[in-house]
Amino acid sequence: MIGKTFKVSVITPQRIVYEGQVSSLIAPAELGYLGVLVNHAPLIANLVPGKIIVRDPSDRARIFHSAGKGIIEVLENNVSILIDSIGKTEL
């Protein structure tokens, strides 16, 4: 599965919530949910409260419930999500 994944970091002011290689990501942006796959074009967007869904290479989903606002940056197969706070996490 090498080459079909990208790195995601989900960070709050208190801690690194998640860091790993994923095959896809869905995040709640101001204008609606956005999806990210490998080799996505560069992007910066504002995030709003909602579900952040990451899928690992074996297609298992992990869901983070963001409770605050934040930003997402997509650049060269690296995604950084900086968010005010994360509520519960589902595996």
- Whether residue 76 contacts residue 87, with contact meaning beta carbons closer than 8 Å, is answered with no
With 0-12 / 13-18 / 19 or more C-beta atoms within 10 angstroms meaning exposed / middle / buried, residue 11 is: middle
45-89 residue pLDDT tens: 999 999 999 999 999 999 999 988 999 999 999 999 999 999 878
Q: Taking the alpha carbons of 30, 24, 41, 7 in that order, is the dihedral positive or negative? A: positive
What confidence tier does 1 reach under pLDDT thresholds 50, 70, 90?
Answer: very low
Nearest to 81 by CA among 44, 31, 40, 56: 44
Question: How do strand 86-90 and strand 61-66 relate by DSSP bridges?
Answer: antiparallel
Q: What is the pTM of this model?
A: 0.91
- CATH says 6-68 is which class? mainly beta
